[in-house]
Structure 1
Amino acid sequence: MPQIDAREPLRAARNPLEERKPAQRKGFLGTYGWRVYALPVLAVVTVLVVVQSVTAPAPSAQPAEQSAAGPPPAGGAPASEAAGPGVRENPAAPVDLNGETAVLPNGGDFTPSGTGNWHVVPGSGEKIGTGRVYRYTVEVEDGIDPSSYAGDDSFASAVQGILSDAKSWTADGKLALQRVDGSSARPDFRVSLTTPDTTHRPDTCGFSITYEASCFRSSKHRVLINLARWVRGAKAYGPNLSGYRVYAINHEVGHALGHSHVGCGGNGQPAPVMMQQSFGVADDYVARLNNVPGGDQGAVPADHLTCVTNEWPFPDGH
């Protein structure tokens, strides 16, 4: 979301790796989905079973927050595919993409405040892609209850899986990404799961737009992923929490790679991954939110265009 000090150039921690065969990439959802999202899915299934055993809703009854009205608006795979057949991570509801979509959805509990310090999740990976190599760590703020995000390894697997996917930032052959751990030289950026209160601080993301958001702070080389959004997603994505998480990583890492915010390219088209989809996919609404001191004023035109959600930089894999 907000891009902080993004004009500062990134510098590789060391020269790119010796040229070698790029590692084989597997689709993120097929490789990591059930492990990453098993905990929130089980919680949703438990709630649904309890509700159904106590009440017999009328055929037209819908959950208070969401209800089914056709397929989810997201461009990526639905949550049911990530978590297993017949299961949704969030209950489905019609979403007015031209409405007030920046509000944090209802959902699971999360830790509101941490220590403001992060620890590196151990682990590293092969270089993915060709071209300039960007190295990153995966980190988690100290003081977060791990039950809200299924633990450090789950978050790290999600991040690495997303950035290794053939539809992520390495697809055009211009750059490579590699996960490193704390024993390596300083990484180019640090993907950091962070509590809302820490993201609100003026030295991290700030809170000029008073809705939960993630950001990239270039002066700290830190991609801050807001825990509240990681747990609950965004209204524009409806039930597709897994798709939103893919978007959040790709969008904020996009800032670390030098990309800025953009608007919708055409009515009904998939939103660019650098659109502020945590707030929404309607240009008029996002432009209004940006029009505050500290907002990304002028980045998105008020041109009456509304997209549909999309979580990938290169949805076709090239």
Structure 2
Amino acid sequence: MRRRRRRTVLLGLVLLVAVVGAVALTPGGDPAPRPPSAGPGPMAYGADQRTEPTGYPRAGAGSFTAAAGESPVVGADGPLRRYRVAVERGTGQDVPAFAAAVDEVLADPRGWTAGGERRVQRVADAEVADFTIYLATPRTSELMCAEGGLSTEGYTSCRLPGKVIINLARWLEAVPDYGAPLEVYRAYVVNHEVGHEFGEGHEACPGPGRPAPVMQQQTYGLQGCVAYAWPWLAGQRYAGEIVP
């Protein structure tokens, strides 16, 4: 009986030590929260298949489908810049519809072809295109932008040489407190990133209540300006002071 009781006591002490050792204590004596699982290492394009509350995917396949066909040449004069449009697979977005939306923005008389400075045309052949406009999920756009040293945190769009990368979340949701319809933000984000491809830098809001220059970083806030999506206004190139 004594041996059995002694074994029982020893077994209980072993279990108690094991439990205490398994529970990390904070300095105040409360159990420390479990650290979140680190999960896998850096993911390849499209590896994260989580879905945002709005229903669009956070990550897609990481590969793209290019729009077929060509658009008419737009613009009266100037050098011709050919662009290609591509949509990430797995986004649920219609490739021809996105291409048509981009074409409409770049063909607008308030756009980058105003003033006879340049002409644009959409093409399907990557070898012919001067740059490609991508519609990519937040995760894929973040990884693509990071290849050029840009940190978007999966939130903003970006431009790298020859690549205009539109974040799917911004294309579908715009940004909080933008104060204009979604179509205005879409025109802005295309014109802003394409503007970088055309050599334009960032500009500042010229004053409270005035239209925001298209090269202002409107995604981060309007700074007192009102949303405006175009590089030309009332027949003139509209710009703010250059941001160093």
What is the deviation of 1:120?
A: 0.9
- SS of 2:87 mapped into structure 1: strand
Residue ranges of structure 1 left out of the alignment (5+ in a row): 1-105, 283-305
Distance 1:317 1:132 in 2: 20
Which structure carries more relative contact order (alpha carbon 8 Å, separation 6+)?
Answer: 1
Asked if 2 retains the 8 angstrom alpha-carbon contact of 1:113 and 1:198, the reply is yes
Asked if 1 retains the 8 angstrom alpha-carbon contact of 2:142 and 2:154, the reply is no
Question: Aligned match of 2:147 in 200, 203, 206?
Answer: 203
Per-residue deviation, residues 290-316 of structure 1 (Å, max 9, x unmatched): xxxxxxxxxxxxxxxx21110011132
Distance 2:141 2:83 in 1: 19
Asked if 1 retains the 8 angstrom alpha-carbon contact of 2:69 and 2:123, the reply is yes
Asked if 1 retains the 8 angstrom alpha-carbon contact of 2:106 and 2:120, the reply is yes
Alignment of 1:192 with 2:163, yes or no, is no
- SS of 1:119 mapped into structure 2: strand
Q: How does 1:238-257 map to 2 (within 5 A)?
A: 238=179, 240-257=181-198
What is the deviation of 1:116?
A: 2.3
- SS of 1:139 mapped into structure 2: strand
User: Counterpart of 1:126?
Assistant: 72
Supply the AA of the counterpart residue of 1:309.
Answer: A
- SS of 2:86 mapped into structure 1: strand
**Pairwise CA RMSD:** 1.9
Supply the AA of the counterpart residue of 1:212.
Answer: Y
Distance 1:308 1:235 in 2: 14
What is the deviation of 1:210?
A: 4.0
User: Counterpart of 1:308?
Assistant: 226
User: Counterpart of 2:174?
Assistant: 233
Question: Aligned match of 1:262 in 190, 203, 225?
Answer: 203
Asked if 1 retains the 8 angstrom alpha-carbon contact of 2:141 and 2:167, the reply is yes
Distance 1:138 1:237 in 2: 26
Question: Aligned match of 1:173 in 116, 122, 136?
Answer: 116
Alignment of 1:143 with 2:90, yes or no, is yes
Pick closer, same or farther for the CA change 1:132–1:236 going to 2, 3 Å. Answer: farther
Distance 1:265 1:238 in 2: 18
Distance 1:255 1:119 in 2: 23
Residue ranges of structure 2 left out of the alignment (5+ in a row): 1-51, 237-244
Per-residue deviation, residues 9-33 of structure 1 (Å, max 9, x unmatched): xxxxxxxxxxxxxxxxxxxxxxxxx
Pick closer, same or farther for the CA change 1:167–1:255 going to 2, 3 Å. Answer: same
User: Counterpart of 2:212?
Assistant: 271
Over the matched positions of the two proteins, sequence identity in percent amounts to 38
Q: How does 1:67-82 map to 2 (within 5 A)?
A: none
Pick closer, same or farther for the CA change 1:239–1:312 going to 2, 3 Å. Answer: closer
TM-score, normalization by structure 1: 0.54
Per-residue deviation, residues 239-284 of structure 1 (Å, max 9, x unmatched): 51111101011101001100011111112110110001011111xx
What is the deviation of 1:110?
A: 1.4
Distance 2:165 2:176 in 1: 20
- SS of 1:144 mapped into structure 2: coil
Distance 2:189 2:149 in 1: 14
Asked if 2 retains the 8 angstrom alpha-carbon contact of 1:277 and 1:309, the reply is yes
Asked if 2 retains the 8 angstrom alpha-carbon contact of 1:237 and 1:243, the reply is no
User: Aligned residues, how many?
Assistant: 182
Distance 1:272 1:158 in 2: 21
TM-score, normalization by structure 2: 0.70
Per-residue deviation, residues 84-125 of structure 1 (Å, max 9, x unmatched): xxxxxxxxxxxxxxxxxxxxxx98421110222222111211
What is the deviation of 1:235?
A: 1.8
Question: Aligned match of 1:117 in 56, 59, 63?
Answer: 63
Distance 2:153 2:114 in 1: 34
Distance 2:227 2:213 in 1: 8
Asked if 2 retains the 8 angstrom alpha-carbon contact of 1:112 and 1:196, the reply is yes
